[in-house]
Structure 1
Amino acid sequence: MARAFLHIAALIAAGVALACGARADELVRYKIIGDTIPEPLTGSPADPARGRALVVARTTTCILCHSGPFPEARFQGDLAPDLTGTGNWWSAGQLRLRLVDASRYNPQTIMPSYYRNDGLVRVGRNFAGKPILSAAEIEDIVAFLVTLRN
């Protein structure tokens, strides 16, 4: 069963990279403190509306595994936690680290590392060394997720 989930995760990660046209930009340096990346990856303000659009878009695969308060999305996943109330449970820094590299929290996770380019397996040749999402996209998604409160 665990092997099947790892296979699914590899397929999802490959699909995300293909659909998003993985970013060739260089990764911004960040510092992990405890269970957070406390500082934003960009110096510009994040846009929660763009973040919501990214979460709901099939190209980022968020709603293939997660569900949430997205009435317009007909098919939502149930493999991962519901995103409703996410802003109640985790800080922006904790969410940022989960998006950048979810394997820091759970080495067996099927969630792709959206802002990593090293130490990954089964990455297509055209996408090796590139993050799935840009720093600005990570920040937009974080800005949206912290608004999800009960």
Structure 2
Amino acid sequence: MRLTAITAAAVLVAGTAFADSVAPDSVTYDEYGAVEASLTGAPGDAAKGRDLMINRGKGNCIACHEVTALEDAPFHGEVGPALNGVGGYRTEAELRGIVANPKMTFEGTVMPAFYKTSGFTRPGDGYTGKAAQGEIEPILSAQEIEDVVAFLMTLQDS
């Protein structure tokens, strides 16, 4: 019985956190693409953000960006700018906006929008070659965006 109560409480807490998240189509960007308000109302976890930065199935930020603090992870890219020191010259709001949808800040960027579910031109269903069916999920959840931003804010030295 005790295990059931603990499980029920965990589900309730997780459901509440999800319910309080800003939906991808409801994110408010300022004129420069920054997102002032947290997408979840909860602080990000920098350690989880670090893991997302190197996770080839999720964020995979190092596929395009070099990050010296992540030198233990192989194959850093050179397509995007190096992120060394980015937490020292970008605000949390700017980083949140760039990770959520970089096209709001940099119109012609090839960086994908990690928190977007609509407005695509012919989205595909993974690597199947078929059109997506039903609703499209964002690449990262609202909390994962906050986690990546928390990690990026730790990158203070260039």
Q: Quickly name the TM-score band, shorter chain normalised.
A: 0.7 to 0.9
Provide the C-alpha distance between the structure 2 equivalents of 1:127 and 1:82, rounded to a whole number of angstroms: 36
Q: After the TM superposition, list the runs of 4 or more consecutive aligned residues in structure 1 that deviate by more than 3 angstroms.
A: none
Report which stretch shifted further, 29-38 or 101-110.
29-38
How much has 1:127 moved relative to structure 2? 7.3
Aligned partner of 2:101 in structure 1 is 101
Q: 2:3: which partner in 1? A: none
Assess, with a 3 A threshold, how the Cα gap between structure 1 residues 30 and 145 changes in structure 2: closer, same or farther: same
Q: Which runs of 5+ in 1 are unaligned?
A: 1-24
1:43, CA displacement in angstroms? 1.9
Percent identity, aligned pairs only, is: 36
Q: Is the 8 A contact 2:101 2:114 kept in 1?
A: yes
SS at match of 2:49: helix
- Cα 1:61–1:122, aligned 2, differ >3 Å: closer, same or farther? farther
- Structure of higher CA gyration radius: 2
Q: Is the 8 A contact 1:48 1:144 kept in 2?
A: yes
- Deviation string, structure 1 residues 32-51 (Cα, Å, up to 9, x no partner): 22321111000222100000
TM-score by length of 2: 0.73
Give the gaps of 5 or more residues in structure 2. Answer: 1-20, 125-131
Shift of 1:102: 0.6
> TM-score, normalising length from structure 1?
0.77
**Which of structures 1 and 2 has the larger relative contact order (alpha carbons within 8 angstroms, sep 6+)?**
1
Q: Distance in 2 between matches of 1:127 and 1:58?
A: 25
The equivalent residue for 1:76 is: 76
- What is aligned with 2:43? 45
Q: Deviations over 1:61-101 (max 9, x none)?
A: 21110011212112110010111101012101000100111
| Matched pairs, number | 126
